[in-house]
Structure 1
């Protein structure tokens, strides 16, 4: 090892005793149980449902509360205490208003502070004191540590501990302490969070989810197709930008673009008002509790049409200049008979309905009007100069990847493209063929290059980001075609079908999954593939645990748009030192309902895998890093102190 590096390291460890102490500390940590990993997927802007799952640790908080207090509290009391841990500020207000006297409230504070300290102690039992200290509310660290580690076998400190609690209450600090301890518990029950894709689109609050993740103590993200779309728009892809605006218009979420990220949609609205009328197919999807005036609905309908036509026009030049994308059959604007208002697909002619081709020149259907080109240029400038969006997209790039190998498992939002025989599908990229892991690595390199060069708006990298959204061999899309055009304009549903990559039925086969794990240099006996992207239709009896437990699909439908077909509100996964558990969640109505009734949204937990021996940190990714640190410290010891 480079002696200059070791000399620099010696400035931190300037004595043999310090080196030895750190080696002892790290070696001891390696034998602690691994922390709990929490996996969520396909959040689709559903901030409140995500918040609840995050706060209750997919039921992990309730489990620890029951373990500790099942013989001390009844079911209603357990639920009330759990709700206090989930939503401490709101629950405290409710509880305090129910007491008639200061004396009764004082007694309640004494009981609940002791109970919360017990919970924190229990939840932190497999962590070092140093790690716990970092999780505690800073303003109360000294007091909490005194209370957590109290020993009073000789009765010398009884008055001391009693006085601490009494003073906390009398000085009005008890609420702040309880709130801090509640959030400490939430942090301790989950050591690391994995978000397996699709934070954005459909739901109303993806920005709030990203803000939450930015403040989270330990997280990684595997990009979903919708996340890649937003990254592509910020990276300079006009067609990705058109897609995100179209989706926001479709789901009545244009305020995300305009109000949250500060993108001025007035030029687009002016264009839409000039060229488009009402069109029932382009009316926004409205959730029952939302209210829009007729004028607001009409404006969104016009914007929806305007940006859709811009999108269809922008797609065609990419398809024509990238023959390796093999997407010539998607040049649909070129295939329309504008006089007869019909189109021929796969040898069959279909009548077009609800069309909005007022800006389409039949002689040159893919050419943007000068007004359309100006609008999309202005929108791109605005989106690339939004400070808030820049912060969010930079976070997604920093914490994100297309796939992740973590603690022996493969995390991937979409798929590894396969052919019907289960072989890795090949794709030509700049004259060379790639498949499997190599193909995904190429996709990621192109996305990162596009993000690093936002000034390039029509280069190969930005085209590849769009391909990730819609291409046949994209690991994020996983279908043979995206039939957006057909779903808007053709009545016959046979044209709407999007054929899935064979991966999605072959993943039921254990041997295929084992082969895929080997492709990523993972142990097929121990590893699992953890997938999102495709909602599991539990209502139809579909099982999220596939291939004898080798494949776990955790998109169960956080998005309200999917819940009528899935029948549930999402799957999440927990992986602790004892093994894996899959949790299914009931529909989440509101935080207010949880606070009022103490009801939780956890439906059932299912055992996926049980460890024969409790897994230790030594066997994890963090363990590998610690072992490297120990090796470096031993080299420092030999280099500096063993001469």
Structure 2
């Protein structure tokens, strides 16, 4: 078998020269600095804030500019140059200079851009950089890469290239494409730790951006898995997606993003709840002022209509799947419709509304014919959306429930634990799973559900959104009914899995790291899902700095509570840097105050400078090198014959 393998390998490297050339190449690559990784989490549909973080590499590009130009440029000059690097189109669009001044500005700016390009590309092989170059400017950019400050013989040559770029009126295009290249090279790999979807208006644009990204991965969040289920037409998932979108007035993602027709639901809601003020269901998002009273009222009616449908659909799944152990979430049969009350835990609570025209007290979970017709129709719209299909598939091609990469363990939610720090077991198909095995099993179930697609398998996607043992959810219950219909806050409390308290303990985190084969030296767990309440003194670095919680979050709804717009993480060859961000308000303000959006950059873990050989990629390359050295020996000893 081994001999056959090397015969196959010899077809790729046909002679001693090709083998030695590749050995030299790989040895050189192993000694390059480790590529920069960028970690973001809980994007919640905030596309513009997300793009700002990607464009700026969470402050890493600003550091590069400071390193490069130090005392050469003033603070204002560096700030203006940063704006050009982050938002070239906007800066060029608003450039108001005379022809002579503009030519001078172009020459200075392009020289600075090329200097920054040379710096950010220095981590990579010439071959890798060459593959990223825009075809129309590849020759020019390669020439500038070889430029030496002492190369006096070529000064006029390079100067003429710049002059010709300006003369041909392609300077704007050259700047934009060069800057995009710098943004790409500034980060070698982007990690998204879940919840691209939720209350924000443009998760579909984030997904398009990620699909076009040169190198990214996703660790699934509970909102992501809900949308994946909806993309397959699983009706409880569809109803939840509709409810959340209506709650925050974010219909743009449904109608414009994915082409989902909501007219059937709108007509039904107006007819059914025409006299109901639907006070509990009026949109609560910041975008409310964009709609007049009538529009808000209609959305409130639609919101209530789909919420009742959701409760009925979920009850059907719960009754059909006793292994989910979620019977306590079936609440409609606990309502006293005559009194307008509900009995919970032997205590009676008054409901905020007792108008339930589609609920039959004798059979409260039965959908009316109209409800069934509407939800099935909308479910088909979800299934037929090509864009949603493409986005859902990307979660599987580039995503997973957790990821261990370069000795960092990433996941969105939690590892279910009991109060003593033991891994909680959950029975699936008669077998108990806990810890890493439970995570692996849920990923297997998700993939099987999506690609097999029958309803029973798809129920697992809904469970992963809301079930007690789901590592993506991490709570005992989701108190949706109580939050809408009961004023008493005691009923709203959702009890988190003990993991969220235990993770403050370094011993627990080290135990988890060992469980996932993450070594203590320079290893960490990186976690999202729960906002870091900076106002209350919470810190993102916990458990002796071995746990990093980087959800702040980007969602505007959280920022009053958290006091920040979240945390992001940069892991370069020198170690881990944590960046704290100020709220993103408008694109114009972000351009003007780009240096202030990132307020603090804090060193988490400084290490001896890491090289490619110290990474997961390096491990693979070292294995390749060993095989190549064996192949070289086989050639030299005559066991394999070289070909020309």
Q: Aligning the two structures, in what range does the TM-score lie when normalised by the shorter sequence?
A: over 0.9
How many Å apart are 1:330 and its aligned residue? 1.0
Paired residue for 2:211, among 210, 214, 232? 214
Tell me if structure 2 keeps the 8 A contact 1:80–1:598.
Answer: no
Structure 2 partner of 1:12: 12
Structure 1 partner of 2:642: none
Structure 2 partner of 1:614: 609
Deviations 1:443-495 (A, max 9, x none): 111111110023x12x1x22221111111111011111110100000010000
Tell me if structure 1 keeps the 8 A contact 2:415–2:423.
Answer: yes
Structure 2 partner of 1:479: 475
Structure 1 partner of 2:84: 84
Structure 2 partner of 1:627: 622
How many Å apart are 1:539 and its aligned residue? 1.1
Mapping of residues 160-239 of structure 1, within 5 Å: 160-239=157-236
Deviates more, 1:555-564 or 1:283-292: 283-292
Q: Give the Cα separation in 2 of the matches to 1:4 and 1:253.
A: 58
1:502 aligns with 2:463: no
| Local SS of the residue matching 2:410 | strand
Structure 1 partner of 2:311: 312
Structure 1 partner of 2:578: 582
Residues 1:479 and 1:159: Cα distance change in structure 2 (over 3 Å): same
Residues 1:89 and 1:493: Cα distance change in structure 2 (over 3 Å): same
Q: Give the Cα separation in 2 of the matches to 1:319 and 1:153.
A: 74
1:426 aligns with 2:425: yes
1:273 aligns with 2:270: yes
1:138 aligns with 2:125: no
Residues 1:268 and 1:140: Cα distance change in structure 2 (over 3 Å): same
1:22 aligns with 2:19: no
1:514 aligns with 2:510: yes
Tell me if structure 2 keeps the 8 A contact 1:193–1:220.
Answer: yes
Residues 1:618 and 1:152: Cα distance change in structure 2 (over 3 Å): closer
Deviations 1:360-413 (A, max 9, x none): 111111111122112121112111111111111111111110000011111000
Tell me if structure 2 keeps the 8 A contact 1:44–1:202.
Answer: yes
Q: Give the Cα separation in 2 of the matches to 1:386 and 1:405.
A: 33
Structure 2 partner of 1:556: 552
Q: Give the Cα separation in 1 of the matches to 2:403 and 2:138.
A: 35
C-alpha RMSD of the superposition? 1.6
Tell me if structure 1 keeps the 8 A contact 2:137–2:174.
Answer: yes
Deviates more, 1:17-26 or 1:152-161: 152-161
Structure 2 partner of 1:94: 94
Structure 2 partner of 1:570: 566
TM-score (norm 2): 0.96
How many Å apart are 1:248 and its aligned residue? 0.4
Structure 1 partner of 2:75: 75
How many Å apart are 1:536 and its aligned residue? 0.5
Deviates more, 1:147-156 or 1:174-183: 147-156
Deviates more, 1:206-215 or 1:598-607: 598-607
Q: Give the Cα separation in 1 of the matches to 2:630 and 2:264.
A: 64
Tell me if structure 2 keeps the 8 A contact 1:537–1:556.
Answer: yes
Q: Give the Cα separation in 1 of the matches to 2:329 and 2:464.
A: 15
Deviates more, 1:622-631 or 1:299-308: 622-631
Paired residue for 1:122, among 93, 105, 119? 119
How many Å apart are 1:640 and its aligned residue? 5.4
| Local SS of the residue matching 1:542 | coil
Tell me if structure 2 keeps the 8 A contact 1:341–1:351.
Answer: yes
Deviates more, 1:226-235 or 1:134-143: 134-143
Q: Give the Cα separation in 1 of the matches to 2:551 and 2:389.
A: 27
Tell me if structure 1 keeps the 8 A contact 2:202–2:252.
Answer: no
Tell me if structure 1 keeps the 8 A contact 2:45–2:203.
Answer: yes
Deviations 1:96-130 (A, max 9, x none): x1x12x22211121111111111111112221111
Q: Give the Cα separation in 2 of the matches to 1:324 and 1:598.
A: 51
Tell me if structure 1 keeps the 8 A contact 2:48–2:587.
Answer: yes
How many Å apart are 1:290 and its aligned residue? 4.4
How many Å apart are 1:4 and its aligned residue? 4.9
Q: Give the Cα separation in 1 of the matches to 2:48 and 2:149.
A: 44
1:106 aligns with 2:128: no
| Local SS of the residue matching 1:548 | coil
Unaligned 5+ segments in structure 1 are none
Structure 2 partner of 1:349: 348
| Local SS of the residue matching 1:549 | coil
Tell me if structure 1 keeps the 8 A contact 2:199–2:248.
Answer: yes
Paired residue for 1:602, among 598, 604, 608? 598
Mapping of residues 253-402 of structure 1, within 5 Å: 253-276=250-273, 277-287=276-286, 290-402=289-401
Residues 1:559 and 1:598: Cα distance change in structure 2 (over 3 Å): closer
Residues 1:598 and 1:471: Cα distance change in structure 2 (over 3 Å): closer
How many Å apart are 1:323 and its aligned residue? 2.1
Deviates more, 1:470-479 or 1:623-632: 623-632
Structure 2 partner of 1:445: 444
How many Å apart are 1:597 and its aligned residue? 5.0
| Local SS of the residue matching 1:175 | helix
How many Å apart are 1:278 and its aligned residue? 2.7
Tell me if structure 2 keeps the 8 A contact 1:232–1:447.
Answer: no
Q: Give the Cα separation in 2 of the matches to 1:576 and 1:141.
A: 27
- Aligned length in residues: 636
How many Å apart are 1:2 and its aligned residue? 5.2
How many Å apart are 1:88 and its aligned residue? 0.6
| Local SS of the residue matching 1:582 | strand
How many Å apart are 1:311 and its aligned residue? 0.6
Q: Give the Cα separation in 2 of the matches to 1:618 and 1:298.
A: 60
Tell me if structure 2 keeps the 8 A contact 1:536–1:566.
Answer: yes
Tell me if structure 1 keeps the 8 A contact 2:249–2:287.
Answer: no
How many Å apart are 1:555 and its aligned residue? 0.2
Paired residue for 2:533, among 511, 534, 537? 537
Deviates more, 1:121-130 or 1:547-556: 121-130
Structure 2 partner of 1:63: 63
Q: Give the Cα separation in 1 of the matches to 2:161 and 2:288.
A: 48
